[in-house]
């Protein structure tokens, strides 16, 4: 179903996307998981969902990536192993056209992991005692899995990558956040490039959503870096994810 054919007002949808972008950007993320879930719940075409979600993810993380690089928080030696496998896998994922039911179940599982990450996996202070080679291999494997997920579903993977970097002892919280923003940006770009080659749609009808996430992302990233507690905002983000899981689960189990 096209955006303009939905029963709910496009401006109400844009308002919801503004809130999502605001909350996600306040903790350094793009919002792909909630954009994707909300569009699935509202009945968007499964062809359009990853394209739109990746596009919006790209926009929101552009500002964050630029700021992190400009402030020299980004560590390229840290993030390159992740990107070596994630970008080609994101491109591959973008070329796949999964059946609707498979797409929805994959989205639901990924949302459950996001919720577990927020509410159950809170302590990321421990470090794994891995050799340099071990850390490199784990980075390659994690990058490939998150890249594939980014391309298929439209979720950037930053919410998984940031704590993983801290657990592996690869860098500080700021460096992890910087790598997360750049990771989401580049993988969203790779997945979107692939999807536009195989399944192009007219993004012009989604302009209200684009404007909403630009405004929400800009304001959220500013407030998150100056006034908001990242832990509190992440819990608010978790509530959005739980609501999305409830609606999407109902859609799948009781069609």
Is-contact 185 67, C-beta < 8 A? no
For 57, 71, 197, the CA distances from 63, given in Å and listed in that order, are 11, 12, 25
Asked if pLDDT for residue 107 goes beyond 90, the answer is: no
14-23, 59-68, 103-112: which range is least confident on average?
Answer: 59-68
Predicted structure pTM score = 0.77
Contact between 31 and 57 (Cβ < 8 Å): yes
User: Which residues are within 8 A (CB) of 122 and not within 5 positions of it... i.e. 6 or more apart?
Assistant: none
Strand, helix or coil at 234?
Answer: helix
CB under 8 Å to 159, separation ≥6 — which residues? 29, 33, 114, 117, 118, 180
**Average of per-residue pLDDT across 76-82:** 87
Of all residues in the chain, what percent carry a pLDDT higher than 90? 8
pLDDT of amino acid 29: 76
Average pLDDT of the chain to the nearest whole number = 80
Q: At residue 185, does pLDDT exceed 80?
A: yes
Cα angle for residues 216, 122, 183 (degrees, 5° grid): 50
Q: At what angle do helices 32-42 and 132-153 cross, to 10 degrees?
A: 30
Write out pLDDT tens, residues 228-253: 665 666 677 778 888 888 888 888 88
Q: Can you give the pLDDT at residue 192?
A: 84
User: Residue 128: is its pLDDT beyond 70?
Assistant: no
Q: How far apart are CA 168 and CA 138, in angstroms?
A: 9
Each residue of 130-161: pLDDT tens digit?
788 888 898 899 899 888 888 888 777 777 78
How far apart are the C-alpha atoms of 207 and 171, rounded to whole Å? 37
pLDDT band, very low/low/confident/very high, at 225 (cuts 50, 70, 90): low
Which pLDDT belongs to residue 5? 60
pLDDT reading at 182 higher than 60: yes
Share of the chain above pLDDT 70, in %: 86
Burial of 219 (0-12, 13-18, 19+ CB in 10 A): middle
pLDDT digits (tens, 9 = 90+) for 18-62: 998 888 877 767 888 888 888 888 888 888 888 888 888 888 888
pLDDT of residue 122: 58
Does 1 score more than 70 pLDDT? no
CA distance to 10, 11, 12, 205, 214, per residue, from 209 (Å): 8, 8, 10, 9, 9
Answer yes or no: is pLDDT of 17 > 90: yes
Q: How many CB atoms lie within 10 A of CB 139?
A: 24
pLDDT of residue 115 exceeding 90? no
pLDDT at position 231 is: 65
Residue 184 phi/psi, 5-degree rounding, is -60, -45
């Amino acid at each position: 179903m096209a955006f303009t054919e939905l029963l709910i007002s496009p401006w109400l949808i844009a308002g919801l996307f503004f809130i999502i972008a605001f909350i996600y950007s306040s903790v350094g993320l793009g919002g792909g998981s909630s954009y994707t879930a909300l569009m699935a719940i509202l009945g968007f075409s499964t062809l359009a969902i990853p394209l739109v979600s990746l596009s919006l993810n790209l926009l929101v993380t552009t500002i964050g990536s630029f700021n992190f690089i400009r402030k020299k928080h980004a560590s390229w030696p840290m993030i390159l192993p992740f990107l070596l496998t994630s970008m080609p896998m994101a491109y591959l994922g973008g070329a796949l056209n999964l059946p609707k039911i498979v797409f929805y179940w994959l989205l639901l599982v990924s949302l459950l992991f996001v919720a577990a990450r927020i509410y159950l996996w809170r302590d990321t202070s421990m470090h794994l005692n891995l050799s340099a080679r071990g850390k490199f291999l784990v980075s390659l494997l994690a990058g490939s899995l998150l890249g594939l997920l980014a391309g298929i579903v439209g979720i950037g993977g930053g919410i998984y990558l940031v704590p993983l970097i801290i657990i592996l002892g690869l860098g500080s919280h700021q460096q992890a956040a910087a790598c997360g923003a750049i990771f989401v940006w580049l993988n969203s770009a790779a997945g979107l490039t692939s999807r536009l080659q195989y399944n192009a749609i007219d993004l012009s009808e989604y302009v209200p959503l684009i404007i909403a996430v630009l405004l929400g992302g800009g304001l959220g990233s500013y407030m998150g870096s100056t006034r908001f507690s990242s832990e509190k905002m992440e819990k608010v983000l978790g509530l959005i994810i739980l609501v999305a899981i409830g609606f999407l689960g109902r859609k799948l189990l009781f069609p």
